[in-house]
Amino acid sequence: MTSVLKPHDRPCVRYPWSRTTPPGEFPLERYEILRDTVGQPGGEASMCAPLFACHKTPEGREEPCAGWLAAVGRDHIGVRIAVAQGRLDPAVLDPKPGWPPLFTDYDELIAVQAGRQDSEATA
């Protein structure tokens, strides 16, 4: 049987999907590695796409990032399958009161984290 996914109840104070995380908090190279966890603009992540793991979960026992789930989790087929199988509570796909504002577009997230203006962002 496949394991139940248990993301944190709320995102970390500083994490990639928060609009309040200062640019440079996480290395830009890491974002490119994680690109496969999100769909292409207007689409969803591929069938084999990994989950965007919380940076505070131990390697080998990663759990999905709470902010990522609430921001773009619905666009990930693996997340939707986990919800359908009862391995992931669908309530985690919505931000809760008191959460920081979230990015909902990966390219915008990268552009802001790189300190570029929206017009300079590239896919």
Q: What digits encode the pLDDT tens for the residues 69-100?
A: 999 999 899 999 999 999 999 999 999 999 99
Phi, psi dihedral angles at 82 (to 5 degrees) = -60, -40
pLDDT at 89: 96
Instruction: Please tell me the distance from the alpha carbon of residue 110 to that of residue 121, in angstroms, as a whole number.
Output: 8
pLDDT one-digit tens code per residue, 22-67: 998 888 888 887 888 887 766 677 778 888 888 888 888 889 999 9
Phi, psi dihedral angles at 110 (to 5 degrees) = -65, -45
DSSP 8-state assignment for residue 26: S
Average pLDDT along the chain: 85
Burial class (CB in 10 A: 0-12, 13-18, 19+), 65: buried
Percent of residues, the chain, with pLDDT higher than 90: 33
